[in-house]
Structure 1
Amino acid sequence: MYEHLSQSIAREVLRLALQIAPTLGQASPGGQAISGDAEATARSKDTSLRFYRQRLLALDRGLTGREIDVCTRALAGMTAEGIALELEIKKSSVVTYRKRAYERLGISSQHELFRLLA
Structure 2
Amino acid sequence: IWGGKYAKGVKADASAWKHDDNLHLVRWDMRSSAFNVSFADSSLTTMREGFYKFVDAYKASGGVPGGFTTYRDEKWTVPEMAEFLYGGGNFEKLQKIKTAYDPNEMFNTDPQAIPALAA
Q: TM-score, normalised by structure 1?
A: 0.29
- Higher normalized helix content (fraction of residues): 1
